Every structure is written in C-alpha cells, then in structure tokens.
C-alpha cells in the first residue's frame, strides 16, 4: 500500500476510533425542526413520553440546544480535516444508511440465520463466540462480494449522518451520576409503557456524545431493534474533561459509569419501562464495558442461584482495548499511526483549552516527547486517583490504593480480572484485520481467559456493517442482546399485513414466467409527512439478449434486474401497525426506513419468502416482541 494511501486509511481508522466526524454544507440546509406541540398531538403509540425525567441530576436539552451543539461539533470536525495537519483528507459527509440490501444473501448466510445462531447458543457466550467465528469464516466470501474493504469501508463509517436531535424519540441529556461525574449522552425511548431492555453504550477514546462512532449504535440498537438505548460519551472526550476537570483513561475509572447509570435509570420515573439493563462498548469504551461486566457481579443483589441476577444482564465489547498500556503506548510511537493520533489528540485538547485554559495542567504530558506521554498519562492518572477518598470506586475496587503509574497500568488490565467466568454474560468481538487496536494483543489475550472472546476475518476497527453488509451487522448486535433478553424472546411472534390486490395490480407487480423472472431484494422507504410506505421489488430476468442466462439472482450484473415500485397507503393497511404512520421529520423517516429494510419481509399468500422465486408478494411480515416493535 503506498504511503499516502496507508496514511489516509489509518487517518480514517482513527476518525472512527476517536469519534471524529465531518459535515458537508447540505446538512445545514434542510429544515429538520420538530414541533413538539405537533408531536404531543400525534398518536400516543408513535412517540415516547420523556416527562418527569428532569431533575437536579438529569437535564434534557431542548431541540435548539441540541442542534446548536451538533452544528458546532460538526463544524469543528470539518475545520480539523481542512487544516494544514490533515490537508487532502476532506470527505463529503453525506452517507445516510438505509439498511437496504444490495443483493440477496446466500441462504446459509442470511442475517436471520446469524440471529438464530445466537438465539440457539444463548446459554453460553463461549458457544456464541465459536458460532460467530464459524459463521463469518464460512460466509466471508459471499457476504463481502462487491462490498467495500480497507480504506473505503472505514471511510464510509466516518461519513455516517444522523440528525438525532430531530428524532422525536431521542433526547440529548446531561446526567450527574451518584459519584458526582457529569456525563453527556443521548436517551432514546420506544413509545408506550411495555417493559423492554435498556442498553447503555459507550464509544471510544476522545469520543463526545453524538460523534460518528456513536451513530451506528443509535441505528442498530434503537432504530432497528426493540430496545431502549442510552448512549454516553467517553471520559476522555473534550466535553467530559471540561465538565469534570480530570483526564483519566481506562475502565478502572470509567467502568463504574455503566453500573451507576443502570442504577440511576432503574430508580427513575421510567423504571417500569425497563425490564433489564445491558451494556455495549466500542474500542476504549469496550475496555470500560468489560470492567462494568466485572463490577456488575459484585453489587448488592447479585445472585447466581436460583436465578442469575446482576446489575448488567449482558455485555458486548466490540473491537475492545484490553491491554490499556500497550494500546496507549502504540498510539504515541514514531509511526504513521502515531502521527495521526497526534493530530487528533491535539484537536481535542485544543478544544478544551480554548474555553478552559485553566485546565492546561491536566494535559502537561502533551508537551513532553511523544514516547514519554504514556508514562506521564499513567502518572497523572495515578496521582488523581490516589488523591480520591477511599470508596471512590465500586466493590471490589472500593479499597484500592494507587500510588504510581505501575499500579495504574496493572489495575487497567482486563485479563487480570478475567481468569474466572463472569456472572454477567459477556462477549468480546474484534476483526483479524483491525489496524487501530491490535486484535492479537487485546482480544487475542482475552480469548486465553475464562471470558468468551473471538475474532472474525474482516471488519477492521468496528466497520462490520461496511464490510459484511448493514443487515448482517444489525443482526449481530441486535441478535446478541435479544438472545440475552428472555422477556422479549417469550413475546416474540410473527405479524403480517396484506397488500390489497388493487394496489398490486396498479403497480403491475406480477412476474413474467415467460422470461423466467425471479424476485431479488425488496426495499422500503418512508418520506416525512407522507401517509404511505414505498415498496421497491427487484426482479431478475435470465434473458439471452442481455447475456444473463448463466447468472443467478445473487451475483448477476445490475443490467439483469428490473425494479417495480408502488406506494402502499397506510389507510389501506389492516389494523394499522405502529410503523404505518407519516414521519414528522427527515431523521424519523430515515429511521423508519432502516427498520423496514432490516425487519420487513415480502412473502407470498402462504407466508413464504418470495426471494429467489416467481411467486407474488402479497404480504409484509415482521417479528414483533411486544405486539408492535
């Protein structure tokens, strides 16, 4: 790989890892505004109730405040990539994932099969880890056919656009945890009062709330799944450092945030809407999630028998940092990776000192020689933690004494605590080709312990959705947490709606057996203010004159397909399910589009998928976990 290409690739990898995102001008030219008055008048089963959550320790930002933070953050990141340090790496920020498949998946590699594998092995996370590796090894070639790889995959992840401030079921929040730490986040709630799992998520190093590294979690675990979601910023992010006036990386300090946030939400006015609490961390956030899993089993009320019960019902660590010392040291080597880290760290630190110059002592290590910085970070962190009153952490870390950098490093090694199985079901997952966090020095070391840990062939640094397909990545994340949520699995049942015959006939949807047309993929889309869902059927035709006779529905060139689309009015949808409503905003329409493309299936009159058949699609089917979602 030429040097400049390698630099570009690693820059984008760090953009994902550090949560750096970029916005183009078009993002500010659309009116995304939500009229909360209109929202209140909307049907009750479409929008969540956030009333009563506000307190001295829980602030909900207004839409205007949220948008102001969003625009400021995006412009700052755009300026970073237009700076002299990163000259030549400006990219358009305009990718809005629709969740739509490009081609039919191989029958043995369909997202539903992956999800069912996780269900089948739900009693053992080690068995789930083994099944995941086997699935992706067997399906690697099929799933990655014509998918981006290397720089393209990682770059596309940094271009993810999501105006979450304008989603009616999301709120940006500022929370003061019981230990006094102030954390910014996004709370996403499903409508209604049905109890459902709450997933708490944290992104990676230097990540602030709403950064690109967070957005795919909002999409996979809220838009496309039946969960409530609380996404929190990393404690190395500029906002967190400014709010709390300390800089201490790693799970020893941050892991307790998962426990404290879970307990706080359990004690809030929405407690009856929470059936269980789970956790996911990405990159450095995964280091903290693993600590949260360990802490979970030592909190009051944790039991193994007769029923396993812990604060966190399950934990997923994605592309995790495990060895904090080696991972931070690696960031400051004299290498391309180290140079990129310096650019991005410098940007984040400048943002803090620009408004709070009095915090400069927190970053005294930054002006030291590059290779001395890991030691100085550890020494400063040890001093800060050593000055805290006894009991600053949760059991079993409540009586720790930290005197020096060696203590800090030793207490931030996940493998130290993983020699015995955790009471909390925990799974760590990384890619063999991760160029940001070394998978062998991190997840590979964890795999030698009692914890469930595995790697899959591709994905680089958490770019699974780009390399293996959006629906596959969604099934992976959603499937793990569903497998650890017995309440949802008990309520799971298929629902369907019929497509009126006159709608089908008007759309001329019938297949033509004379040309051997077969169903390819089916896609869906929603439009703000429109009381209809757009259905797009793809058909494959093995025509001689197009050179398609030797092709099949999965791998044929695009000219072997035709598309037929029609609008299904919601007024014609029997029993009007929750998704059959006109979205209020562009982001809500995009979220509904993702849900539909991941969850809705086109089936024939017998309820059988029409994929790769000549049968007429007369129904839309999906799995419900509470009668709605």
Rounded Cα distance, 31 and 27, in Å: 9
574-607 pLDDT, tens digit each: 889 999 999 999 999 999 999 999 999 999 999 9
Give the integer Cα–Cα distance in Å for 540 and 519.
6
pLDDT per 10-residue tile (average), the chain, 629 residues: 46 50 34 41 72 95 92 71 52 76 90 96 96 97 82 69 94 96 97 95 90 89 98 93 93 96 96 97 96 94 81 97 93 73 74 82 84 91 89 88 93 84 94 91 92 95 91 97 96 94 70 67 97 94 75 81 92 92 96 98 94 91 84
How many helices (H) and strands (E) would you count in the chain? 20, 15
Cβ atoms 348, 366 nearer than 8 A: no
pLDDT in tens, 465-479: 989 999 999 999 999
Q: Are 215 and 247 in contact (CB under 8 A)?
A: no
pLDDT of residue 41: 39
* CB 400, CB 393: distance < 8 Å: yes
The whole-number pLDDT of residue 567 equals: 94
pTM of the model: 0.91
What pLDDT does residue 340 have?
A: 66
pLDDT (tens digit per residue) in 605-622: 999 999 998 888 999 999
Q: How far is CA 202 from CA 63, 218, 407, in A?
A: 22, 11, 25
**Could you give the CA distance from residue 171 to residue 270 in angstroms, rounded to a whole number?**
14
Q: How many Å apart are CA 164 and CA 170, to the nearest integer?
A: 7
Query: Distance (Å, rounded) from C-alpha 311 to C-alpha 289?
Result: 13
Residues contacting 410, CB < 8 A, separation 6+: 416
Residue 466's H or E segment, with its range, is helix 464-468
What is the DSSP-derived secondary structure letter of residue 208? P
Cα(551)–Cα(559) distance, integer angstroms: 11
Residue 10 and residue 8: Cα distance in Å, rounded?
A: 6
- Closest by CA to 449, choosing from 410, 414, 425, is 414
Give the total residue count for the chain. 629
Q: Per the omega criterion (within 30 degrees of 0), is the bond before 119 cis? A: no
Handedness of CA 449, 452, 455, 461 (dihedral sign): negative
């Amino acid at each position: 790989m030429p040097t400049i290409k390698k630099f570009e690739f690693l820059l984008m990898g760090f953009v994902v890892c550090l949560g750096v995102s970029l916005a183009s001008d078009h993002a500010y030219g659309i009116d995304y505004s939500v009229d909360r008055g209109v929202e209140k008048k909307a049907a009750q089963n479409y929008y969540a109730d956030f009333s009563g959550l506000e307190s001295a320790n829980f602030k909900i930002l207004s839409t205007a405040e949220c948008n102001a933070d969003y625009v400021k953050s995006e412009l700052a990141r755009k300026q970073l990539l237009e700076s002299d340090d990163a000259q030549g790496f400006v990219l358009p920020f305009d990718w809005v994932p629709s969740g739509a498949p490009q081609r039919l998946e191989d029958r043995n590699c369909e997202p539903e099969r992956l999800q069912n594998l996780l269900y089948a092995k739900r009693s053992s996370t080690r068995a789930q880890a083994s099944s995941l590796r086997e699935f992706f090894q067997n399906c690697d070639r099929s799933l990655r056919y014509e998918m981006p790889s290397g720089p393209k995959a990682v770059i596309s992840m940094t271009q993810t656009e999501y105006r979450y401030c304008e989603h009616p079921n999301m709120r940006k929040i500022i929370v003061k945890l019981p230990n006094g730490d102030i954390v910014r986040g996004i709370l996403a709630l499903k409508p209604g009062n049905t109890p459902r799992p709450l997933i708490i998520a944290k992104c990676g190093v230097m990540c602030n709330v709403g950064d690109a590294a967070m957005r795919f979690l909002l999409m996979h675990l809220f838009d496309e799944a039946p969960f409530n979601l609380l996404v929190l910023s990393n404690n190395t992010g500029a906002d967190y450092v400014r709010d709390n006036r300390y800089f201490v990386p790693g799970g020893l300090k941050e892991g307790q945030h998962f426990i404290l946030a879970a307990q706080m939400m359990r004690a809030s006015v929405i407690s009856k809407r929470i059936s269980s609490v789970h956790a996911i961390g990405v990159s450095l956030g995964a280091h903290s999630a693993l600590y949260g899993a360990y802490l979970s089993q030592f909190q009051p009320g944790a039991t193994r028998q007769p029923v396993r019960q812990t604060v966190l019902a399950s934990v997923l660590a994605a592309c995790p940092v495990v060895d904090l010392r080696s991972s931070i040291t690696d960031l400051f080597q004299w290498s391309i990776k180290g140079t990129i880290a310096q650019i991005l760290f410098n940007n984040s630190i400048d943002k803090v000192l620009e408004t709070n110059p009095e915090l400069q002592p927190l970053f005294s290590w930054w002006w030291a020689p590059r290779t001395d910085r890991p030691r100085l970070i550890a020494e400063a962190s040890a001093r800060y933690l050593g000055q805290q009153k006894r009991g600053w952490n949760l059991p079993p870390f409540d009586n720790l004494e930290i005197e020096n950098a060696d203590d800090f490093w030793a207490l931030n090694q996940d493998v130290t605590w993983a020699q015995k199985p955790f009471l909390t079901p925990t799974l760590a997952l990384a890619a063999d080709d991760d160029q940001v966090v070394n998978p062998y020095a991190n997840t590979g070391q964890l795999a030698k312990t009692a914890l469930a840990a595995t790697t899959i062939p591709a994905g680089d640094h958490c770019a699974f959705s780009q390399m293996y397909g959006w629906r596959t990545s969604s099934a992976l994340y959603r499937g793990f947490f569903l497998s650890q949520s017995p309440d949802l699995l008990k309520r799971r049942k298929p629902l369907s709606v019929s497509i009126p015959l006159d709608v089908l006939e008007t759309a001329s949807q019938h297949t033509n057996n004379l040309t051997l047309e077969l169903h390819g993929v089916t896609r869906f889309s929603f439009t703000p203010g429109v009381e209809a869902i757009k259905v797009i059927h793809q058909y494959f035709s093995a025509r001689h004159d197009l050179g398609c006779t030797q092709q099949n529905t999965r791998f044929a060139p695009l000219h072997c397909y035709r598309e037929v689309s029609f609008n299904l009015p919601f007024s014609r949808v029997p029993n009007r399910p929750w998704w059959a409503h006109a979205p209020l905003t562009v982001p809500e329409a995009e979220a509904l589009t993702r849900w539909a493309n991941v969850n809705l299936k086109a089936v024939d009159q017998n309820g059988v998928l029409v994929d790769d058949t000549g049968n007429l699609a007369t129904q839309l089917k999906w799995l419900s976990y509470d009668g709605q979602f």
